[in-house]
Amino acid sequence: MQRCAGDVLLEVRGREAADFSDPAVCAQWVARTDADVVINAVAYTAVDKAEGDEAAATVINAVTPGAIAVAAAARGLPLIQISTDYVFDGAGDAPFGVDHPTAPLGAYGRSKLAGEVAVRDAGGLHAIFRTSWVVSPDGANFVKTMLRLGAERARLAIVADQIGGPTCADDIAKACFAAGAHLLADPSKSGTYHLSGGPDVSWADFAREIFKQAGMGCEVADIPTSAYPTPAQRPLNSRLDNSQTEAVFGLARPDWRLGLADILKTLGVRPL
């Protein structure tokens, strides 16, 4: 499928043409594409399910991206790879820098970290963007869940001791296009970067802002992570230092509150 985004021609491949459970098929597509830049936004993101299905998560998040990276490197095509804050252990309360030691807490984080390593090892031009708490008008995500639950209940208990930067998918897309153009012009910019929305916030306060902008009266009660156990351990600290992204690509940290307003508008939710 092809469509235009401004002056950029996109060649978008869905699962029917690029099944990420089959690394060879995806690599073959990269070997044949007329694209100038390859962007991989595909991931196995079922964090809890990955705990019992790490092999499948690793194929989709690491083996296939590695095969794509090798194919892209062979053709001199820059690769933009989306990674995650889950490669860190969530310790402390300072934003993680791009060079901070990685120490994933679970299967999902391990699979994404393996994907980073595979992309780097391919030896081609790349920009790995670690991001966090991704939301958009599409698919299942925190914003849509809060809108649904907030319409059904007068009060919700939301985790308040996990802190991070909600990131709108539209801001990630813009960063990917910008990074691709920069890599084509200046290969020295190849490397790992962080891209997360600001300001940093708890899930509970994120929910409060969703309800505020949506004009919903749902009350939010703060609870600790320990009160909401999940199969996969979540990092308490998902703060990411975006300074390298701004310095190299000129991309200021996006304000997720503005992005949230756009999401609500797209969903037809009345903003305040």
* Catalytically active residues, by annotation: 108
Q: Which of these, 238, 257, 248, lies nearest to 95 by C-alpha position?
A: 238
Helix %, strand %, coil % for the chain, to 5?
Answer: 45, 20, 40
Pairing mode, if any, of strands 163-164 and 237-238? parallel
Tokens linked to 228: 């909401």
Give the angle 165-166-170 at the CA atoms, nearest 5°.
125
Task: Give yes or no for a contact between 53 and 106, defined as CB atoms under 8 angstroms apart.
Answer: no
Distance separating alpha carbons of residues 107 and 114, to the nearest angstrom: 10
* Residue 86: both structure tokens together: 């889950």
User: How many whole angstroms from its chain centre is CA 3?
Assistant: 23
- Note whether 242 and 254 are within 8 A (CB): no
